[in-house]
Amino acid sequence: MSQRQGVDLSYEDGARAVELAREAVESYVQHGQREQPGSMREAFYERTGAFVRLESTRGRGSLRGCAGGYRSDDQLGHVIVDAAIEAASEDSCGSEVSPSELPNLTVSVCAVKSVVLTDDPLADLELGVHGVAIDGGEGGWLYPTVPVENGWSAREYLDRTCRKAKLAPGAWEDDDVVVTLFEGQVFREREADGSVEEL
């Protein structure tokens, strides 16, 4: 098991990360433009991965978009902007976020703190702490908070990440499939464009 360090965000950094992601989504959806991070908080200059999730608050709620990566050579501020735009595009969940949806979207950001390459994901995986990324098939990943929100076991979490990568459940046990665990800090809006909490 080998580890690579990422970034450690304060609450203020996390709240700004979510705000930056929302600004990027709104700029892209309303004007087709890429938001520039502007003068960034010090932590946003770190070179690490990040993920952005967009969820609808309408009806029973649903995932509207997700994008990002657990590793990056770019600065965190730029990674957040790029992930937010990709999450809002049709490449993410099949349809682009429309301007009318913006008031009903909650935004969350997962900033990568550390990356763990593992030979035994079932043993090394800590539910609620680690996100899972599968390199194989089309590639896929899931947030650290997802298995806790859904009451999944570690095995189910790994199987579902495989499905997201368009692989058979259990493919994470194959030698040619690389499983990476990432520890991340997750910050999200409690309600659309509302106050931010750290999970």
Structure tokens at 90: 């049709």
Q: Which pLDDT belongs to residue 138?
A: 80
Tell me the mean pLDDT in the region 8-20.
91
Give the chain's domain count. Answer: 1
Q: Is the pLDDT of residue 190 over 80?
A: yes
**E strands, the chain, where?**
2-5, 50-56, 62-69, 105-117, 130-135, 140-142, 178-189, 196-198
Q: Which pLDDT belongs to residue 158?
A: 95
Reported as a single tens digit per residue, the pLDDT across 106-164 is 999 999 888 888 889 999 999 988 999 998 778 888 989 889 989 999 999 999 999 98
Specify the CATH number for the domain of residue 63. Answer: 3.30.700.20
Q: Is the pLDDT of residue 5 over 70?
A: no
Contact 12, 184 (CB under 8 A): no
- Its domain, for residue 177, covers 4-198
Tell me the mean pLDDT in the region 180-196.
87
**Dihedral in degrees, nearest 10, Cα atoms 45, 24, 65, 174:** -20
pLDDT band at 37; cut points 50, 70, 90: confident
Structure tokens at 42: 């010090």
User: What pTM was estimated for this model as a whole?
Assistant: 0.85
Listed residue (184, 106, 107, 178) closest to 142, CA to CA:
184
